Amino acid sequence: MISRTAAGPRVYPRTASLSHTERLARLERLARFMDAAIAIPGTRISLGADAVVGLVPGVGDLVAKIASAYILYEAHQMGIPKHKLVRMGGNVLLDLVFGSVPIAGDVFDVFWRANLRNMKIVRDHVAKAK
C-alpha cells in the first residue's frame, strides 16, 4: 500500500520506518558491492559486481543497472531534488552506454563507478540538509 504524506513524497511501508542514516548505510553497502567489492592485491584498483556481471555479453550490463536504478529509486524516496536525480541518472546512463562496449566497457566500469558517484551526491545532499 502506498500513501502520501502531507510533507513530501510517497511513503512505502517497507522502507518508511528506515531513517536516512539507515538508508544511507544500506545504499552505501550496495554501491560498494557493485563498484568496489574486491581489491586487486598490489594495486589501488578495486572492482565490483558491476564489472564482473558486465562480462556477460548483452544482458550483463542491463542486470547490473537494476542495482543502479534501485539507488536512484531510494534517492527519490529520500527527497533528493530532481536536478540531482537527473545527474545521477546521467551517471548510470553513461555507465550503461560505455559499459556495454566489449572489454573496453568493462575497464570503463572499473574506473567510472557510477554507483559510488551517485552515493556521493546523496551523501552530500543529506549532509547539507542537516
- Residue 1 in this model has a pLDDT that exceeds 50: no
Average pLDDT, the chain: 87
11 is a domain residue: no
Antiparallel, parallel or unpaired: β 10-11 and 46-47: unpaired
Range of the domain at 115: 17-129
Whole-Å CA distances, 16 to 4, 8, 52, 71? 11, 12, 32, 16
12 is a domain residue: no
How much of the chain is in helix, strand and coil states, percent to nearest 5?
65, 5, 25
Average pLDDT over residues 50-62: 86
Whole-Å CA distances, 72 to 60, 81, 90, 106? 19, 11, 11, 22
Total domain count, the chain:
1
pTM of the model: 0.82
61 is a domain residue: yes
- Residue 17 in this model has a pLDDT that exceeds 70: no
- Residue 125 in this model has a pLDDT that exceeds 70: yes
